[in-house]
Chains A and B, each alone.
Chain A
């Protein structure tokens, strides 16, 4: 049993352009809307030019100590290098959610919950590859309901620049699609 969602230390990692940073940011924003303590620490620098990007997102009921940590309650990984790098850093009993269309060699760990979601294919079906990250976020929230869906939707409104607000409905659908995919997999929420 986790400590009642008191503290969630999450890493989101993938290629630049997969929406890794905005996924973490949306989550952090939603946490803030629920009056929780949050921190969002991105990787930065030239390696982001087409390279990998990641962000550590922490949501907590109490004041957050270090924004930089090396072990995670959950990991969301969207490419193979991130799988290789972060799978060993998930705490035993933690969650590893991954994009199963991109990652062909998932970790072989058995002491963590591994869930693969073909989010890219799903996003293609929705005719907007950009919402892949929201499908993943929906799936994650189904597994780890650290914030409510209402907060996420409100957060999206704040995180998305106004000129993209016409995309809010498709983002919402993507979130719902992700949730449904986890339900179909019959994985129990971990809390």
Chain B
């Protein structure tokens, strides 16, 4: 039988990093994710791995750049204000095509905001928070179990595409405890010797890590190469979960914590005879546009529920492309909608659209 542990999302993520063979973690304290650094400060030395409290998130992400450029499996984590500080470094990492895992335990903003959960960093995460044309693969866990599972997945995808992967969580998933099982994991063999800066032997040309291509012609070639990679990612890595969609007349679209709240709202709505389903994007980039398009010919209306002022809803609308109404309901500032509140809003919308 599976062996379960009771852990906070942040701790499960940290433990999974160790099990995934993470060679180095660099971070700076910030609520609500300081447990990651605290856990790893305690555990990593036992495994002879590197853990370092940096002097800032600017430093953390650049330490990640260095370690990843040397071919090591490496990660950092922070929460919204710290992730904002990292944006420059992330752009450089994407430009230099370095595999690494970045975790954002989203809190509500803007600015210093509050330390309570939020999903206001959606745009920053999926549309490119730093400068230039780049994309991160963005994974959105909705449970403590997924906090652990997506660490393995994230590292593997990072290696596969030589691209930064962002795990976009939130304060609630980070702080809450659920049971978690650390599944056996085998690390895919990846050859980094063709680019990692490990010291040049006579037998090969030098390796160097850079995002600088000063001649426009060469820069564009590099851009096109990146675009080709993002196309591959869009074709191969879309992930989502569907609940109760087979008979659904309406559809919730929500990720992370919002998706959990929507599940409860769905139960309540179905008891009231409203046939609603849930589509939960697991990858926020690449986004399940295709599946939304298909569902748009089945359901009469979609409702995107988010802990922000309406960000992902724009992607839902892109997928649906005008076929059915796409509505939005959200709370901000660290406030959470109750399932009852969502159902109430849903009922009002159904009446408004006369789509019954």
Contacts and interface: CB of A to CB of B under 8 A. Distances in A.
A115 interface: no
A38 interface: yes
B176 A42 contact: yes
A90 interface: no
Given A69-B338, A70-B338, A41 B4 contact: no
Q: What bracket does the count of chain A residues touching chain B fall in?
A: 20 to 34
Given A38-B178, A38-B179, A44-B115, A69 B172 contact: no
Given A39-B177, A69-B338, A44 B32 contact: yes
Nearest to B243: A65
B179 A66 contact: no
B340 A40 contact: no
Contacts of A86: none
A56 B317 CA distance: 35
A81 interface: no
Given A44-B31, A45-B115, A69 B264 contact: yes
Contacts of A39: 176-178
A68 B4 contact: no
B217 to A, nearest CB: 52
Interface string B143-187: 000000000000000000000000000011001111100000000
Given A39-B176, A70-B340, A44 B261 contact: no
Given A65-B267, A68-B257, A45 B172 contact: no
A66 B339 contact: yes
Q: Which of B31, B177, B179 has the most CB of A within 10 A?
A: B177
B11 to A, nearest CB: 12
Contact of A41 (B175, B179, B339): B175
B6 interface: yes
A41 B116 CA distance: 12
A71 to B, nearest CB: 8
A69 B179 contact: no
A69 B31 contact: no
B272 to A, nearest CB: 16
B260 A67 contact: yes
A164 B116 CA distance: 32
Contacts of B339: 65-66, 69-70
Contacts of A65: 260-261, 263-264, 266-267, 339
A12 to B, nearest CB: 13
Contacts of A69: 264, 338-339
Contacts of A46: 115
Interface string A29-71: 1001000011111101110000000000000000011111111
A67 B6 contact: no
B305 to A, nearest CB: 11
A32 B176 contact: no
A67 B31 CA distance: 20
B336 interface: yes
A28 interface: yes
Contacts of A42: 175-177
Given A45-B114, A45-B116, A66-B339, 18 more contacts: A25-B6, A28-B6, A32-B6, A38-B6, A39-B176, A39-B177, A39-B178, A41-B172, A44-B171, A65-B264, A66-B263, A67-B176, A67-B260, A68-B257, A68-B260, A68-B261, A69-B264, A70-B339
14 contacts: A25-B6, A29-B6, A37-B179, A38-B177, A41-B176, A42-B176, A42-B177, A44-B115, A45-B31, A45-B114, A64-B178, A65-B263, A66-B260, A68-B257
Q: Which 6 A-B pairs have the closest CB atoms?
A: A65-B263, A66-B264, A40-B177, A65-B264, A70-B338, A41-B176
